[in-house]
């Protein structure tokens, strides 16, 4: 009987784990700190890094060629995946919304507060603040 119960649990893990092409948003759509407006000054440490914690589950091992551990090297890892001239073209945003063959599927939509926070932070100069 235990074997029959393990299969559905294992199947669920495979469907929502790394390397899936899940069309549903899976990342946390975090509210802005202190209800700040998405157009206000954003902080990497307070607003951006928490949204990206979901990336570490697959990318801490370098999945897809990008290493993101969520640790002290987080800012530099993110800098390697952004375009400050055209924030919407940033690999970070394209991949997180399931584009460009992201094996992990979609973590949030372009209409989410998470996407808007990251896009606005990039447009504001992507400071390590």
Where is pLDDT greater, at 109 or 30? 109
* Chain mean pLDDT for the chain: 78
- Assigned domain for 129 exists: no
Q: What are the CA-CA distances from residue 101 to residues 3, 13, 30, 52 (Å)? A: 34, 21, 25, 19
C-alpha to C-alpha distance for 91 and 107, rounded to whole angstroms: 13
pTM of the model: 0.72
Instruction: Give per-residue pLDDT as tens, 70-89.
Output: 999 999 999 999 999 999 99
- Assigned domain for 78 exists: yes
User: Domains in the chain: how many in total?
Assistant: 1
Return the structure tokens found at 32. Answer: 């802005």
- Assigned domain for 128 exists: no
- Assigned domain for 87 exists: yes
Split at pLDDT 50, 70, 90, the class of 6 is: very low
C-alpha to C-alpha distance for 101 and 67, rounded to whole angstroms: 17
- Assigned domain for 108 exists: yes
């Amino acid at each position: 009987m235990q074997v029959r119960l393990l299969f559905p649990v294992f199947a669920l893990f495979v469907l929502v784990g790394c390397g899936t092409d899940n069309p549903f948003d899976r990342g946390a759509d975090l509210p802005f700190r202190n209800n700040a407006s998405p157009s206000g000054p954003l902080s990497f440490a307070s607003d951006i890094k928490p949204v990206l914690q979901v990336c570490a589950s697959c990318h801490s091992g370098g999945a897809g060629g990008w290493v993101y551990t969520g640790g002290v090297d987080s800012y530099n890892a993110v800098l390697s995946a952004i375009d400050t001239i055209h924030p919407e073209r940033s690999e970070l945003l394209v991949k997180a919304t399931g584009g460009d063959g992201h094996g992990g599927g979609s973590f949030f939509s372009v209409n989410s507060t998470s996407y808007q926070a990251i896009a606005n932070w990039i447009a504001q100069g992507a400071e390590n603040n």
